[in-house]
Amino acid sequence: MQTLSFDVSGMTCGGCTGSVQRTLSKIDGVSHADVTLSPGVASVVADPERVTSAQIEAAIIGLGYLAKARPAAHSGLAPS
């Protein structure tokens, strides 16, 4: 599993974040999604063998918001 983060713009309320979070949670390969309004960020824990960053981005864009993957943060931990 890996954690991916996306900058999301166009969300204006809690309903927007809830909609994005529900949609991301339904994607095959996503085990957890957390979306915040300010700043507009979606954090997704996903299986990279089952879902790509581009698919997650496309799902957010499909809801009418702008989404851009953030560069992967280096935690200093070895991949499992």
Order of strands across the sheet with 30-36? Answer: 30-36, 41-46, 2-9, 66-69
Q: Give residue 76's Cα distance to chain centre.
A: 22
CB 6 within 8 A of CB 42: yes
The confidence score (pLDDT) of residue 41 equals: 97
pLDDT digits (tens, 9 = 90+) for 47-65: 999 999 999 999 999 999 9
Q: Could you give the domains of the chain?
A: 11-69 (3.30.70.100)
Confidence of residue 77 (pLDDT cuts 50, 70, 90): very low
pTM attached to this predicted model: 0.86
